[in-house]
């Protein structure tokens, strides 16, 4: 086993977006280099990376080049083909998280069946292969229900509400007539997420819960710690530990959940990577989600997840990120992703505002076997 990797090793990352950029910055802090594979020239991550391979994710020679450059390969983007991870593994590369975790997260039906099999509570759902499946599913789930493409949906894209069976054809067309899942409407009072990591030694560390507010299907704000009861926080930790262990996962995961009026949680989905709702950890925690992921995949000990301050993260969309006055707020920590082209709604950066904590490290999940 090459683990723990010594400083000076190279971490390969599939994907060149802002998550890869923040992973690369964290890797540099620990003395690692990164190699990015991305189809996008001048990507946010490659601009802070030692090496970049520009290519499609499934190009065999590019994957060979990444394997040659890297001591371990990870990903920052969940729509990387799971076959790319399998190919890297076949080339003898060390990869984390594993291909099964990626493949499960990529297919909403596989993901929900995994939750069901492991006793993780999730919303009632039905598999939809054609518009004709929607009417019977709606009878079982109740109306309205949310139709989501099985694959490649993000930031609320590929989703349509179905009010009645008469909407079936229109809703199915609205999501591109693609294989889908129909979900019962969840009467949540709040959306929360838990960011956690599992190391190569099986240890699990979770961050305090954050509350997430969306606008137009895009995460706008994360507030940490969430005002959750101890029972809710304990359920979140138990859920994330189950998911990590059952997937034999190595690295950071983000699990999105709906909190119901009685404080109980239903899992919406998980992202097999560092997560936008955990960006606040970079300013408010002893070891943040990016460093934690690098530690995990490199086989290093996980770090403490204690919060040193309460935090509110605001995503900067489009031209909002172009205002240097953002840097004038003494309580605001500004992160800009170096993206060219501030299209409306595009995530260009974020700002984290810190406040004193009311109580020390609420909802803390100490390092331990989950």
**Site residues for ligand AMP per CB under 6 A:** 123, 146, 153, 156, 183, 185-186, 191, 214, 217, 256, 268-269
Q: Minimum CB separation from ligand AMP for residue 192, in Å?
A: 11
- Nearest CB to ligand AMP, comparing residues 214 and 369: 214
Name which of 6 and 154 has its Cβ closer to ligand AMP.
Answer: 154
Per 3-state DSSP, the chain is made up of helix, strand and coil in percentages (nearest 5) of 30, 30, 40
Peptide bond into 254 cis (omega under 30): no
The three-state secondary structure class of 93 is coil
β-sheet bridge partners, residue 334 = 351
Instruction: Yes or no: say if 186 and 257 are a contact pair by the CB < 8 Å rule.
Output: no
Instruction: Identify the three-state secondary structure at position 123.
Output: coil
**Cβ nearer to ligand AMP, comparing 5 with 192:** 192
Q: Pick the closer one to ligand AMP by CB: 60 or 156.
A: 156
Report the residue number, 69 or 137, with the smaller CB distance to ligand AMP.
137
**Min separation Cβ 183 and ligand AMP, Å:** 4
Residues in the chain: 370
CB of 275 to ligand AMP, least distance (A): 11
19, 278 contact by CB (below 8 A): no
* Cα-to-chain-centroid distance, residue 331: 26
Nearer to ligand AMP, 222 or 361 (CB): 222
Alpha carbon distance 224, 212 (integer Å): 9
Closer Cβ to ligand AMP, 125 or 300, answer by number: 125
Q: What are phi and psi of 85, to 5 degrees?
A: -65, -40
Nearest by Cα to 66 from 9, 8, 12: 12
Q: Give 29 or 214: the residue with its C-beta nearer to ligand AMP.
A: 214
Name the residue among 222, 226, 197 with its Cα closest to residue 209: 226
Shortest separation between residue 125's beta carbon and ligand AMP, angstroms: 8
Q: How far is the CB of 226 from ligand AMP (least distance, A)?
A: 14
CB of 340 to ligand AMP, least distance (A): 27
Q: Which two tokens stand for residue 275?
A: 């997560």
**Residue ranges of E strands in 88-217:** 125-128, 145-149, 159-162, 180-184, 190-198, 203-206, 210-215
Say how far apart CA 56 and CA 38 lie, in whole Å.
Answer: 7
Q: Find the angle CA(322)-CA(274)-CA(192) to the nearest 5 degrees.
A: 90
The answer to whether 194 and 255 are in contact (CB under 8 A) is yes
Instruction: Closer to ligand AMP by CB, 197 or 257: give it.
Output: 257
**How many other CB atoms sit within 10 Å of the CB of residue 351?**
22
Cβ 211 to ligand AMP, closest distance in Å?
Answer: 12
Q: How far is the CB of 220 from ligand AMP (least distance, A)?
A: 11
Q: How far is the CB of 152 from ligand AMP (least distance, A)?
A: 11
Q: In the chain, which residue ranges form alpha helices assigned H by DSSP? A: 18-29, 60-69, 82-90, 99-106, 108-117, 134-141, 168-174, 230-246, 281-284, 289-297
Q: Is 56 or 189 the residue whose CB approaches ligand AMP more closely?
A: 189
CB of 236 to ligand AMP, least distance (A): 16
């Amino acid at each position: 086993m090459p683990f723990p990797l010594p400083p000076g090793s190279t971490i390969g990352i599939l994907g060149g977006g802002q998550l890869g950029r923040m992973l690369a910055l964290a890797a540099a802090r620990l003395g690692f280099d990164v190699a990015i594979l991305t189809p996008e020239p001048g990507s946010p991550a490659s601009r802070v990376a030692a090496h970049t391979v520009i290519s499609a994710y499934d190009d065999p020679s590019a994957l060979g080049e990444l394997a040659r450059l890297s001591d371990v390969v990870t990903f920052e983007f969940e729509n990387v083909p799971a076959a790319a991870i399998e190919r890297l593994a076949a080339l003898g590369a060390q990869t984390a998280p594993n291909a099964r975790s990626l493949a499960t997260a990529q297919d909403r039906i596989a993901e929900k069946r995994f939750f069901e099999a492991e006793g993780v509570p999730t919303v009632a759902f039905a598999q939809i292969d054609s518009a004709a499946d929607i009417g019977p599913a709606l009878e079982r789930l109740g109306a309205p229900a949310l139709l989501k493409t099985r694959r490649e949906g993000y930031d609320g894209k590929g989703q349509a509400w179905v009010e009645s069976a008469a909407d079936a054809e229109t809703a199915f067309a609205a999501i591109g007539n693609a294989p889908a899942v129909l979900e019962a409407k969840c009467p949540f009072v709040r959306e929360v997420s838990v960011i956690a990591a599992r190391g190569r030694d099986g240890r699990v560390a979770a961050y305090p819960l954050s509350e997430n507010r969306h606008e137009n299907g895009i995460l706008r704000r994360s507030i940490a710690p969430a005002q959750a009861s101890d029972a809710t926080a304990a359920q979140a930790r138990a859920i994330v530990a189950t998911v990590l262990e059952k997937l034999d996962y190595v690295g950071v995961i983000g699990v999105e959940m709906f909190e119901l009026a009685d404080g109980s949680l239903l899992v919406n989905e998980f992202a097999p990577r560092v997560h936008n709702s955990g960006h606040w950890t970079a300013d408010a925690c002893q070891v943040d989600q990016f460093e934690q992921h690098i530690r995990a995949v490199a086989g290093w000990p996980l770090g403490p997840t204690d919060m040193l301050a309460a935090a509110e993260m605001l995503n900067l969309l489009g031209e909002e990120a172009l205002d240097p006055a953002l840097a004038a707020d003494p309580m605001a920590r500004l992160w800009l992703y170096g993206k060219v082209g501030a299209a409306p709604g595009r995530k260009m950066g974020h700002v984290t505002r810190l406040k004193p904590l009311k109580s020390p490290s609420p909802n803390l999940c100490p390092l331990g076997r989950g």
